[in-house]
């Protein structure tokens, strides 16, 4: 997928883990990542939908982890932000009159799926707690 969102999501999660339940505002998170608070909020929507974080609106609001850091496998984080296939582009419209062109998408998809499975497995050897513990 090659997605800057993976880095952002993991960055947010790491900060939330370090905060130990204290609510962090999107502005604060954005400050550490060095991006716009609105971007952080967008990513938080996704992290919330995946059950990783919870947010509180209004004054003194902010976000915190919704589950324990060792329940968040990095592979799950990857899956939550991935939008396109690992190696493919969305548009691939080969010539169906050619025997290779006709079938290559099927074979590529099989290859991508198998590969992605292994990738997720590998990422999941670490969970958020493991990752976060690498920081002081």
Partner DNA sequence: TCATTCTGTAATTATTTTTATTACAGTACA
Partner DNA sequence: TGTACTGTAATAAAAATAATTACAGAATGA
Structure tokens at 14: 């790491």
How far is it, in rounded angstroms, from Cα 111 to Cα 105?
10
Residues composing the chain: 136
CB of 65 to a second copy, least distance (A): 14
Residue selected from 20, 21, 60, 100 as contacting DNA according to rule CB under 7 A = 60
First to last CA, the chain: 29
Residue selected from 42, 71, 108, 112 as contacting DNA according to rule CB under 7 A = 42
Task: Examine residue 59 and tell whether it contacts a second copy (CB under 8 A).
Answer: no
Q: Which does residue 74 touch among DNA, a second copy, none (CB within 5 to 8 A, set by kind)?
A: a second copy
Residue selected from 13, 62, 78, 132 as contacting DNA according to rule CB under 7 A = 62
Task: Examine residue 126 and tell whether it contacts a second copy (CB under 8 A).
Answer: yes
Task: Examine residue 101 and tell whether it contacts DNA (CB under 7 A).
Answer: no
How far is it, in rounded angstroms, from Cα 67 to Cα 62?
16
Task: Examine residue 129 and tell whether it contacts a second copy (CB under 8 A).
Answer: no
| Residues linked to residue 65 through DSSP beta bridges, in sequence order | 53
**C-alpha separations of 70 from 65, 79, 91, 110, 133 in Å:** 11, 17, 37, 31, 11
Residue (21 or 58) nearer to DNA, CB: 58
CB of 85 to a second copy, least distance (A): 7
Task: Examine residue 88 and tell whether it contacts a second copy (CB under 8 A).
Answer: yes
| Residues linked to residue 73 through DSSP beta bridges, in sequence order | 127
């Amino acid at each position: 997928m090659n997605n800057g969102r993976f880095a952002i999501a993991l960055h947010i999660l790491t900060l939330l883990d370090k905060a130990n339940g204290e609510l962090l505002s999107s502005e604060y998170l954005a400050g550490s990542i060095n991006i716009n608070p609105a971007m952080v909020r967008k990513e938080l929507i996704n992290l919330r939908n995946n059950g990783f974080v919870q947010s509180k609106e209004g004054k003194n609001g902010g976000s915190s982890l919704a589950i324990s850091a060792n329940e968040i496998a990095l592979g799950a984080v990857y899956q939550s932000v991935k939008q396109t296939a690992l190696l493919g582009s969305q548009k691939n419209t080969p010539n169906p009159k050619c025997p290779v062109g006709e079938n290559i998408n099927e074979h590529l998809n099989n290859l991508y799926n198998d590969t992605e499975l292994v990738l997720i497995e590998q990422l999941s050897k670490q969970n958020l707690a493991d990752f976060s513990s690498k920081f002081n």
